[in-house]
Amino acid sequence: MNKMIQGNTKNLSDDLRIVITGVGLAAPNGNNLSEFRRNMLEGISGLDMMEVRHMGQLAAGNCSFDEQKYQSRKMRKRGTRAGAIGIYCANEALVDSGIDINEEDRDNVGIYVGITEHGNVETENEIHELYQNELNTDYWSHHHNPRTVSNAPAGEISLNLRITGPAYTVGAACAAGNIGLIHGAQMIRAGEVSWCLAGGISESTHTFGIFAAFKAQGALGSHADPTLATRPLDKNRNGIAVSEGGCLYVLETLARAKARGAKVYGEIAGYHVNSDATDFVLPNNDRQVECMHKAIKRAGLSVEDIDLVSMHATGTSLGDIQECKAVREVFDKSENTLINASKGFIGHCMGAAGALELAGNLPSFEDNMVHGCRNIEELDPECEIKGLVLKGPVNKEVKTILNNSFGMLGINSALIISKMEKE
C-alpha cells in the first residue's frame, strides 16, 4: 500500500487526485448514462427471455447497442462480443469526456478492463461447429487464438483507438469492474500513464456454460416473468440472472481535468481490495467488513460520512445474507447512510457489475436522488439493514458513494467516490 495516498484526498496536490471525466456504458436497460439512470429511477428492468443453447428459454440481460457505431463489420466479425462491448463503451466514454484521441499522446494512455472470464464463448462456439461437422478440425477458426487470449477485450479497444500504451485485462471475478477502476487510478498515480480508460465488461450471456454452472449450484434465478427472475434480498429469491454489459470510465488527474476544462463526475476518494482465503464461493462477511472499513479509512472518512452504499447483492441465498451481515456491522449505527442494490434491474453483469452499478448511482451527486432496489416484495428478515431503500427513488443529498463488489474465490473490493465541490 502507498501510505502517502491515505487520508482525505483534498489534502493532496491536484496531480495525485484522480477524477472521473467520462462515462461510456452498455447495460441491459440503457446504452448511455442518462438513459440508464432514468430507467433505474423509474424501476425499468432490462431482463428478458433468451434462447440458451442446450437449455432452452432462460431469463437474462442483454444489451442492444449498435455494434457498428464505432467499428467496421469486418473488425467485428474478426473480434469478440466482449471486444465489441468494450469498443462501444470506450468510444462513448471518450465522447462524453470531450477528449479527442487524435490530439493525445497515445503512448501515454492506459486501458484497464476488468473481466470475470474470457474465451468461453468462442471455445463453446467452435466446439459446437465441430459437432455439426463430424469433428472435422478444418472448420476450427484461425481467429480462435487471438479471440480467446485473456487480454482480448482490452486489445480490441487498443486496436480500435490506436492506443499504444498499456492495454490489458484485470481478472477479478465479479469484483473486476471495481478493481479495473482501482487499478487505473493506481497506474496514473504511479506515473505509468497520463490518463486511462478503466472499468469492466462481460459477454457472459453468450456462453451456455455459465447458465449450466449456476443451475448446477442451485443459484440460477428463474421466474415465469423474466423481470422477476432475480430478487436480491427478497425472502423468496432463488438466484442470479446472468447478464452482459460494460462500463468504462475516463480517469485522469484533477490537474489535467482542470487544465482542459473538463466536467468532473466525481473523485476516487478511497478503496480497498482483500481476499477471504476461506472458500471457493461462500463469502466471508468478516473480510467484507474489513474491506469496507479500510476503504473508508483510506479515504480519511468516517462511517457517518458515507451517504450511499451500493451493495453487490447477487440474489443468492447465502451470498445476500453474508453481505447484509457485513453492511449491517459497518453501517448499523450510521444515521446518515442509505443503501441500495442494482441487480434486480439489470441482473448480474459479472465483470461489468461493479462499474455499471457505480454508474447507476453516480448521478446522485447532481440530482440528489437515490434509486431503490427492485423485486423486493417480502424482505428477508436476515437481510434487514437500516437505511435500505426498498422501493425508491428517495431524495437525499449525496456527497460520497461506497460501491461494494465481490467475487468467487473470495475477492472483495470497496470503492469510494466523492462529489467534487465547486471551488
Residue-level pLDDT at 4? 46
pLDDT category at 392 given cuts 50, 70, 90 is confident
Using DSSP's 3-state secondary structure scheme, residue 410 falls into: helix
Decide if 19-259 and 271-418 have a common fold.
Answer: yes
Summarised one tens digit per residue, pLDDT across range 238-262 is: 999 999 999 999 999 999 999 999 9
Query: CB of 407 within 8 A of CB of 275?
Result: no
Residue-level pLDDT at 1? 37
Percent of the chain with pLDDT over 70: 98
Assigned C-alpha cell, 173: 471475478
Residue-level pLDDT at 5? 65
CA distance 86 to 82: 6
DSSP state at residue 71: S
CA distance 5 to 415: 14
Residue of 160, 177, 36, 42 whose CA lies nearest to 113: 177
Cell 468494450 maps to which residue?
86
Residue-level pLDDT at 3? 47
Query: CB of 196 within 8 A of CB of 184?
Result: yes
Annotated domain spans of the chain: 19-259, 271-418
* Mean pLDDT computed over every residue of the chain: 96
pLDDT category at 9 given cuts 50, 70, 90 is confident
Residue of 131, 401, 97, 70 whose CA lies nearest to 266: 401
Q: 19-259 domain in CATH 3.40.47.10? A: yes
Is-cis flag, bond preceding 153, omega within 30?
no
Q: Which CATH architecture has domain 271-418?
A: 3-Layer(aba) Sandwich (3.40)
CA distance 300 to 91: 34
Cell 491536484 maps to which residue?
14
Residue-level pLDDT at 404? 98
Average pLDDT (272-289) is 97
Beta bridge partners of 250: 22, 197
Average pLDDT (265-282) is 98
* pTM > 0.85: yes
pLDDT category at 116 given cuts 50, 70, 90 is very high
CA distance 333 to 248: 34
Summarised one tens digit per residue, pLDDT across range 127-168 is: 999 999 999 999 999 999 999 999 999 999 999 999 999 999
Residue-level pLDDT at 387? 98
Distances, alpha carbon 117 to alpha carbons 141, 286, 312, in Å:
20, 26, 18
Summarised one tens digit per residue, pLDDT across range 402-417 is: 999 999 999 999 999 9
